[in-house]
Amino acid sequence: MALTETLIRGPVGYQDRDSSQYEEEYRRKIRAIRMRAAPLVALIENVPSETTDSVIYHWPVDPLPDDSGSIMDVYLDAACSSAYASGGVVGTALYIAVSQPNAKKAKATDVISVWNPTLRVWRRLYVTNAVYGDLLSYIACSLREIDANNALAGTSLVFLITGNAQPDYAPLPAPIYGEPTWFDNQVQTWMEATEFSNRQLGQKDRADTNKRNRGKLQSLQRLKRRKQMNYLFGEYETLPDPAGGKNITFTRGFLSALKQYAPANIFDFVTSTDVTPGALFTQEGLEWLENIALAVSKTGETDEKIVVTSDWVQKLINDAVQATSNYTITEGEKRWGINVSVLRMPGQRWVLVEDQMFSKYAPLSNNMLIYERGCLKEKKFVNGALKFIPDTDNQAGGKNYRSGVKEGWEETAGLLWENLDACAWVSVGTQNLV
């Protein structure tokens, strides 16, 4: 091709020359927009973990003792055929029909008090025997006060064991032993990888970056995100690997465990019948949350709950707080290396932790995970601690050599929960739609 002269007449401006004549600048440093870790995983990993050498693991939990129960009816005879109606005086023998599990709670020499919710009065009785048969169970008692207004003939009665009293030279009372509740789960393996050809690693990029190290960091952060989502939504399952026929195990996550063992602790403001139909969250939302706080505090072991949620839920709570003077929220505290806000609830402090995954993804943005520190733990497999897997084939050469590197991360662990009754999964919305 013959060379031709390109001439520009007059003053030369920026637009007068072809853009190919200019060297454009490319900033060498990459500005990475990353999620702020995975707070739920960080919080769980911050609690001392346990180690297992079994894929499937089981653990026992002693529930909070319950010394109360509902009453079916009150009778005058051990056959529970003649219902009590009136006339109870000190010393009257009564037979309180209850379920078999409730009958096993009481023993001779116990003192029980029966509550009548309609008359709002107690009646005190002394236990002389407890029978817990398959067909008939009752607590035999001696009434220790006059039954004015026939309170023991009422409905919806409940009993509470309020002590015991022994005579002189009494033998040891009937023994009671409580079995623990057993739970089980299994470990799951997470892996993430990065791979580059040798030519790609050697190619100079516009950005001044070590692609290999950048890929390592990205795969590690991806593993943490996947792990957090499994700990939230994982379902207990074992299935064959379609590629190799080996079994794949899935650990049960928090929400699945709650559905299985404490379904009453899943709440939704939008569908709740405990608020005025059509009520706004700013009107009744905080009172609704108070009732949840009371429900999960009954078996709680601390006065503080960790609440993992989104920025949208935090704003909704802030709006509700500003609409009333009955609540206080403190912002800017630092816990476990994370900025948190603290909402004062009845007898509790709710530590609000914003999780960016909750904030980013719309299906998660209206939810709150509520638990006590220590209720959720990690069960690490004996050789499954997080580890980096280098590309030894590339380094060693030989028959497995290939012109590139593939490396990544592996971790094997599972979720372990204790005292789920003190935890909750809460969904909120701007308005109740019932």
pLDDT in tens, 135-160: 999 999 999 999 999 999 999 999 99
Please list the alpha-helical segments (H only) found in 197-349.
198-202, 211-233, 254-261, 281-297, 311-322
pLDDT exceeds 60 at position 341: yes
For residues 71-92, average pLDDT? 96
> Which of 164, 193, 211 represents a domain boundary (last residue)?
164
Residue 94, pLDDT score: 98
7 pLDDT band (50/70/90 cuts)?
confident
Q: Is the pLDDT of residue 23 over 90?
A: no
Predicted confidence (pLDDT) at residue 224 exceeds the cutoff of 60: yes
Are 382 and 255 in the same domain? yes
In a domain, 90, yes or no: yes
In this structure, are 369 and 246 located in the same domain?
Answer: yes
Identify whether 214 is part of a domain: yes
Question: Is residue 117 domain-shared with residue 239, that is, in the same domain?
Answer: no
Instruction: Give the domain range for residue 109.
Output: 68-164
Within-domain flag for 32: no
User: Rounded to the nearest 5°, which phi and psi values hold at 32?
Assistant: -90, 125
Q: In what order do the strands lie in the sheet with 93-97?
A: 68-70, 158-164, 110-116, 121-132, 137-143, 93-97, 73-75
Clarify whether residues 316 and 369 are in a common domain: yes
Q: Which residue has the higher pLDDT, 295 or 394?
A: 295
Mean pLDDT of the chain: 89
Task: Answer positive or negative: Cα dihedral of 77, 82, 86, 87.
Answer: negative
Do 133 and 212 have their domain in common? no
Which tokens go with 300? 């709680």
Amino acid sitting at position 386? L
**Do 245 and 394 lie in a common domain?**
yes
Range among 121-125, 241-245, 340-344 with highest mean pLDDT value: 121-125
55 in the same domain as 132: no
Report yes or no on 222 lying in a domain. yes
- Considering the domain architecture, whether residues 49 and 73 belong to the same structural domain is answered as no
**Residue 126 pLDDT exceeds 60:** yes
- Could you tell me if residue 3 is inside a domain? no
Query: In this structure, what is the dihedral angle of CA atoms 290, 292, 295, 296, given to the nearest 10 degrees?
Result: -110
**pLDDT reported for residue 404:** 87
369 & 420 share domain:
yes
Question: Which tens digit of pLDDT belongs to each residue from 163-216?
Answer: 999 999 999 999 999 999 999 999 999 999 999 998 888 888 887 678 888 899
Q: What is the pLDDT of residue 348?
A: 85
Choosing from 164, 195, 210, the residue where a domain stops is 164
Tally of CB atoms within 10 A around 96: 28
Domain annotation covers residue 113: yes
Count of domains for the chain: 2
Q: CATH number of the domain at 139, please.
A: 2.40.30
Q: Quote the tokens at residue 256.
A: 């699945």
280 secondary structure, DSSP code? B
Q: Indicate whether 135 and 52 sit together in one domain.
A: no
Name the band, by pLDDT with cuts 50, 70 and 90, for residue 21: confident
Mean pLDDT of 24-44: 66
pLDDT of residue 337 exceeding 60: no
Pick from 60-64, 207-211, 367-371 the range whose average pLDDT is largest. 367-371
Please indicate, yes or no, if residue 252 is contained in any of the structural domains. yes
CA-based nearest residue to 371, from 312, 311, 426: 426
Q: Which tokens in the block code for residue 166?
A: 């022994």
Of 164, 198, 219, the residue at which a domain comes to its end is 164
What CA–CA distance (Å, rounded) separates 24 from 5?
24
Looking at the fold, whether 278 and 335 belong to one and the same domain comes out as yes
367-391: buried (b, 16+ CB within 10 Å) or exposed (e) per residue? bbbbbbbebbbbbbbeebebeeeeb
For residues 231 and 134, state if they share a domain: no
8 occurs within a structural domain: no
* Least confident among 4-13, 67-76, 271-280, 406-415: 4-13
Residue 80 has pLDDT above 80, yes or no: yes
pLDDT, tens only, 267-318: 999 999 999 999 999 999 999 999 999 999 888 888 889 999 999 999 999 8
* pLDDT at 339 (0 to 100): 63
